[in-house]
Amino acid sequence: MSMAKIEQDRAWFYSEVERLQSEVVVLETQFAELEQRHARAPAVLQILSSYFGFGAAGKLDWAQFKLKLKQGELDLFKSQSEVLEGSAKHSGSGTDSQPELSPEAMGKLLSIIRSK
């Protein structure tokens, strides 16, 4: 795998992290707005909408699910980012205490991440 391809994959990887971060921010904002809307509703309406799943309460569950899903994806990407940064720091250090990821292994890792 060429260095240009590796750099291209890293650029894609970091752009995905940024995209997920922005999506999480948007979902957090939407979730907070739905919680406020639900909290402002009369108590009877809150209970009924929670029980039957309509109005703000019905949307809260779905928004919370999407938010947790995107946060999980972001956490996965961030943990992989730490691995990539660790291997990049190691490759520049000149010590042989940890094995460096080969370009083939890096490509496989990125293809696994892209498939999820």
DSSP type of residue 41: S
Instruction: Give the whole-angstrom CA distance, residue 4 versus residue 110.
Output: 14
Residue 116 pLDDT: 61
Question: How long a stretch of residues is the chain?
Answer: 116
Instruction: Give the whole-angstrom CA distance, residue 41 versus residue 54.
Output: 12
Residues 74-106: tens digit of each pLDDT:
998 888 877 766 665 655 544 444 455 667 777
> Measuring CA to CA, which residue among 64, 65, 88 is closest to residue 14?
88
Q: How many domains does the chain have?
A: 1
Residue 13 pLDDT: 86
Residues of the chain with pLDDT under 70: 1, 84-102, 116
> Measuring CA to CA, which residue among 17, 5, 7 is closest to residue 77?
17
Q: For 53-98, where are the alpha helices, taking DSSP H only?
A: 55-93
Residue 41 pLDDT: 86
**Residue with the two structure tokens 């691995």:** 83
Q: What is the dihedral of CA 5, 10, 14, 20, to 10 degrees?
A: 70
Domain range for 48 is: 3-115
Instruction: Give the whole-angstrom CA distance, residue 17 versus residue 24.
Output: 11
Instruction: Give the whole-angstrom CA distance, residue 4 versus residue 111.
Output: 16
